[in-house]
Chains A and B, each alone.
Chain A
Amino acid sequence: MVAGGVTKFAKAHPAMDFRLMVKRAYDAALAEVPELTTDRIDGSRVSYFSDHFSRQLKAASMVQDYLGLNPKGSVRIEWGGATGGECFQAAFEAVASGRMDVCLAAGYETMSRVATWKGNEFIALASDTNFDFPLGGFYTGYYALMVQRHIYEYIRLRKFAHIKDERQAQRMAIAEGTRVMALVSVKNHVNALHNPYAQYPKQLSVQDALNSEMISYPLTREQICTMSDGAAVAILCDEERAKEFTDRPVEVIGVGTGTDTMRLSDRPFGKVPLMPREKASDYTHLPYPGIHSFRAGRSAGLEAYRMAGIEDPNEELDFIELHDAYSSSEIQTYEDLGLCKYGEGYEFTERGDPFLTQVKYPFPTPKAGAIPVNPSGGLIACGHPVGATGLMQAVFAHWQLQGTIAEHFHDPTLQIADAKLGAIHSHAGTGSAVTVSILKRGF
């Protein structure tokens, strides 16, 4: 990867349609690498999630057209919430296969063109429309079902095993789980105070997060990402050309993907695919994934780590930008990616491992800096214009590995010192598809 660009993510960009948003992000990327002009690009992969938001089918063609890339090859990539991550990997494949020397990955979403609750309906159309959608058309509800079970397995049955009254024990476990989830929400909102591209930077407190409006029990508004307008692009090329275009390239050294059933109802109760540090005996009594964990995330992580030669992600990775559509799914994802064992996500959060040392949070984070997660602010604070999100992560990771956060954010705070290896993680509805890509400083 030689360059990336993003527009600021916002509730609405009424003065830009999707073509102009992508053009702005594309021009920002080209400005980083003056030797790389449009005539050097061999083709593109263009991502957006839903045709419903703009009611323009084959909109990716219009992006290709607007950027002046015709008659070069292009194809649209769509894979739910993981659309951006898949687009990044599709561009990687175009280059790695030798089909293209230089490939543009461009993504966007314009979600402001419908009212918020209509937008929720569109997103929920990416669930089974015979069995799931007619019950409420609401993805937050599905994630609430998942985190309820996660809390039950790992807090109710462990920390509160001694409480006999089932209803009381579960309420205590939910209070404990949501309190820790709120730490994640605070982390991401506070990190974003130093990211000018973020939609919702905020000096949030744990109480603010917990007391915000209940959306789907136990998920409150501040624990959930919002709808956004935005675009992001990444330009990938082979090593030879990378050296020609920039002296600060970033290598893609691992890609992984995973999938799971569309319906939560169909998720199996099987065995955990193990990370290098885990043993089968760690999970003797854990039917997996059930609805508590994202098997696709574990699968994507394992594949990407194997390709990149990573054995211990905590030790080897300097940071991760992961898909925190909900504070709950960020904690679930720590476990999927092997940052801690299944069941340890809450303690891992409380210890402070995924926090930054250089940012001040309104509670102690003793192990901050162990493995910073979502230094940018993630989806919760940056916004989630679906087709752009996975590419936004690539751009922020690119700048971290280049050491150019200060230059791009006009604020050095979020730069992770001497970052050499990072991961990006993109996730589709209830974990029905996940991508993980490993990026490495290439100079």
Chain B
Amino acid sequence: MRQDWARLPERGNRWALRLIRWIALHGGRATGRALLYPITLYFLLAATAARRGSRLYLRRSLGREPGWRDLFRHLHCFAATILDRIYFLIGQLGRFDVKIFDGQLILDQVASGQGCILLGSHLGSFEALRALGATVRHLPIKILMKIEHNQTVTELLDALNPALAQTIIPIGRPETLLQVQESLEQGFLVGALGDRVAQGDKIVHCQFLGQTVAFPVGPMLLAGLMGCPVILFFGLYRGGNRYDIHFERLAERIVLEPRRRQEQLAVWTQRYADRLEHYLRLAPYNWFNFYDYWDEESA
């Protein structure tokens, strides 16, 4: 079931998040990182659904049967980015060695005064970008986010940086995209994640890691309707305190003709899927969709 993500893994683990946050704020990053090992081990044993999702994904991306070490590494990578998310949110970027690739693209876009869609994914950490953009560089960024799904995370993390919380546009209300439209007109970079399908989303099918899978067309449709550029971003966690943030222009403008709309949306979404696959190959353990992404088990 592709909607399984709504339950995984953020939702069920309120106490773990609280614990990680407490450790991060009171114990320091070294303590936090040391404790990530037992926490990861616990999840490896207890979170069977997440483990199954991880196994299905790793089998596909590594091209072999993943062992316990691979599964551990995958969950540990996720836990590490959650811990770091806290430091990003409180603006402690100095702790990190962040390499930015093609950052000029973003600066040029901001200078142009025209808004754009910043399209990311659940590959790696989008918080790195959000913290860097909004807190350090004071770039005009807004993020589309499913508040209902992320309630726990949102509550816990927003308390750390209320100003950053203001930059969220909640998804799932009739006026959501009117708000996006206004933000784009005001020159905001509007961030969205394009790799998860929610109930009722319009979709297209793309080739992704060797199999057909549904992607939401929302972001491309939005860019098409608004006539704005689409810039991709990937915040890859490289171990230790290292993050690589990649920017890449996907489209200067997405032109949709009424009769060929579905076909054109499919072409652009496939390009996104191709780039996602490219970056996923660079950092395979950064894939944070811990569910049956390719719908293999219900087949």
Same assembly: no
